[in-house]
Amino acid sequence: MMGRAFQLARLNQGLTGKNPSVGCILVDAAGHIVGAGVTGTGGRPHAEEIALEEAAGKAKGGTAYVTLEPCRERSSGAASCSRKLVDAGIARVVVAIEDPHPTARDGLVILREAGVRVETGLGKHAAARLYRWFFAASQDH
């Protein structure tokens, strides 16, 4: 599933402004894909938001595969992707790599504190290559 998430992320690479192009695949408790998303052109909406909308509630108890750590907070003040995953009842989140950006990092903390099982590192090297430019820019904050 992470491979599919990376395929999505690569679709909008270079089209998302200052935001990275993230891929997200949601599977239900039985392992069936119920939602998929990629960061929108210009950087909004986020991949998780698109996947959750497509899943329409069917992801409860399931797993989210995300190429980059879901955000902790949003600059707009809207609910963060980590909070939206919790609210959707996601039981497990598999993340390729953690996000160093100041407003995004620690999204995994929100997930863990809510009782969501979190796994990191699946696809970490591919993510490090894909987001190299974003990680370099994040160090400027």
48 is catalytic: yes
d(CA 87, CA 58): 13
Catalytic residue among 48, 49, 69, 73: 48
CB 119 within 8 A of CB 91: no
- Buried-exposed string 47-66: b where 16+ CB fall within 10 A, e elsewhere: bbbbbbebbeebbeebbbbb
Residues noted as catalytic: 48
